[in-house]
Amino acid sequence: MLRLLQLELQKLLLNRASKVLIFISFILPFFIILLSSIRFNVFNYFTLEVGHYGVFNFPIVWHIMTFFASYFKLFFAIVVVSMIGNEYSNKTIKQNLIDGLSKKEFILSKFYTIIFFSALSTLLIFIICIITGLFYSSIDEAHLIFRETEFLLAYFIKLVGFFSLCLFLGVLVKRSAFALAFLFVLFLLEWIIYGVLAYNIDESTATKIQNFFPLKSIYKLIDQPFQRIAISKAPNGQDFLYDFGVHWYEFAIVIAWTALFIFLSYRLLKKRDL
């Protein structure tokens, strides 16, 4: 396993484009978060302090951070599709196999890399959350601090699921740009199907069905936190109108998709003549 991971890391880290994209997708968001947690002084007219809205308090900090940081996954998605696209355009996939890598190992090396970077990102966001959370909230009891850390797990699963989808699309179309276009098409397709369903049946059934679709299910793991902030500011904030928790079945759906994507990538590669 370590050998496969090392292989892929060498391929990625010696490539300047991937290095930059990895930096943007994993390191940059944390700088942004750190910066935003500092009090902004906008041209001396007014001060903007994001922390003021209570977004950095425990436990909501886990939710907010993972939600925003996960948008940067799009940059690493480019790395994932090009990880496959480059192997095809350089024909190095052929050479790798001839040198004695099996097709299974080839897919696994990509998958381990996905897990590695997802775990790294989760670890980083954990550290940032702890720092900003401790700085802004008055809570210092461990069980309160670590309440709702399931968002971290959701974040991890979300990344792995999304990148596995990208991996599959990369293997499917062999070219990075087309794979990304495909991702966008899939996004549109999910909403078109939703629209058709909502029009023909009703909205809530359509939403329920849409929640099983790959992109939507990945998104659903960490729901958008705006209502939550609004609710927490409202006087009777305890009444949750909106279900933004992390549920076991949401995990199950995404894990199932992940397994399917990896399996299909392998099957596709196995059937293919290179």
Binding site for another protein (CB under 8 A): 3, 6-7, 10-11, 14-16, 86, 90-92, 94-103, 105, 270-274
For 130, the 3-state DSSP assignment is: helix
**Residue with Cβ nearer another protein (3 or 233):** 3
Phi, psi of 46 (to 5 degrees): -150, 160
**Residue with Cβ nearer another protein (103 or 175):** 103
**Residue with Cβ nearer another protein (10 or 47):** 10
Q: Are 214 and 163 in contact (CB under 8 A)?
A: no
Least separation in angstroms between residue 88's CB and another protein is 11
Least separation in angstroms between residue 97's CB and another protein is 5
**Residue with Cβ nearer another protein (100 or 235):** 100
Q: How many CB atoms lie within 10 A of CB 202?
A: 10
Distance (Å, rounded) from C-alpha 257 to C-alpha 250?
11
What tokens appear for 5 in the block?
């991971």
Least separation in angstroms between residue 99's CB and another protein is 5
Least separation in angstroms between residue 104's CB and another protein is 9
**Residue with Cβ nearer another protein (37 or 113):** 113
Q: Are 65 and 59 in contact (CB under 8 A)?
A: no
Distance (Å, rounded) from C-alpha 52 to C-alpha 46?
13
Least separation in angstroms between residue 180's CB and another protein is 21
Least separation in angstroms between residue 109's CB and another protein is 10
Q: Are 22 and 70 in contact (CB under 8 A)?
A: no
CA dihedral 264, 269, 270, 271 (to 10 degrees): 90
Beta bridge partners of 46: 42
Neighbouring residues of 36: CB distance < 8 A, sequence distance ≥ 6: 50
**Residue with Cβ nearer another protein (104 or 233):** 104
